[in-house]
Amino acid sequence: MTPPEAGARSGPPASGPPVALVTGAAGGIGRAVALALAAQGLTIAGVDTVGAADPGGAGDLAARLRDQAPASTVLAADVSVAAEVEQAVAVAAGIGPLTTVVNCAAILTCHDVATTDEAEWDRVFAVNVKGTYLVCRAAVPRLRAAGGGCIVNLSSVHALATVPQLAAYAASKGAVLALSRQMAIDYAADGIRVVPLIVGSVDTEMSRQHAAAQGLPPGHAEPGDRSLGRMADPAEVADVIGFLVSDQARFVTGSPVVADGGMLTHL
C-alpha cells in the first residue's frame, strides 16, 4: 500500500462504526485503552511495533478486540517513521470513520543531561514527540472528514514536576503538553478536541524499568488503596480516556487533564 501524501485530505470517510486509533496498543496503557474503547462500541485500530501476527501480546489483543468489534485490528508500525504512520492511519480510516486518536506510545530512559548521549535523546524525542506529531498530522484530515472527533495525547506528571534522572523523558512530555495545547487552538473550528492527559505512576513495564533504575521495588496498585500518588492500574487511566473521548466530555479541550492519584501534590 502506498501511503497518502502527508497532510493530504482523505476524501469521504469510510462508512461503518466509528474507529479509534490507539498507539502503543500491545501493552500497558495502550492495551487497556484499546480494550476500554472497544467496550464502548468503537472499532479499534491498534498500532505498535508488533502487529496482529505477533504470537504474544499484540496477537492476543487483536483476538480480544475482534470479539467486540470484528473489524478491529492491530497494525505493525513505528510511530517515529512517517511512511509507516501514514499507512497505518490510512488503514484505520479505511475501516470506518476515524473519530478518535489516543497517542500512548512512549519510551523512557533514566539519565540526567550530562549522561544522556545524543542517540538516546534523539530516540526519546523521535517516539514521544515526533511520533505524536506524525500520528496527529496523518489523522487530522481524517478526523475532519468524519466531522470532528477527539485526540488524547498522553503527557506525564514529569512535564510539570519531576524526579532526578529523567531529563529526556521529562522534556519530551513537556513538549507533548505544549503541542496538544497548540493543536486544540488550531483545530477547534474543525470540531476536533485535543486533550493532553497528565498521568502519574502506572503499573506498566516502563514504570518497572524506571523503578529498577532508581533501585526501588516495583509499585503495586492495591484495590481500594486511597494513598496519594499510588501506582494506578492501566485500566484506571483507560477509564479516564474513555470519558475524555466521549460526548460527555464535549466541553473539554486544550487544558491538561490530570489523572495522577494525587502524585503532583507531593512531587
For residues 90 and 10, the answer to whether their CB atoms sit within 8 Å is: yes
Q: Which residues, in sequence order, are CB contacts of 178 under 8 Å at separation 6+?
A: none
Give the active site residue among 72, 169, 177, 183.
169
Active site residue 169: yes
* DSSP-assigned letters across all residues of 6-54: TT----SPPPSS-EEEEESTTSHHHHHHHHHHHHTT-EEEEEESS-TT-
Strands of the sheet containing 43-48, edge to edge, are 73-76, 43-48, 19-23, 98-103, 149-156, 192-199, 257-259
Are 153 and 132 in contact by the 8 Å Cβ rule? The answer is yes
Catalytic residue annotation? 169
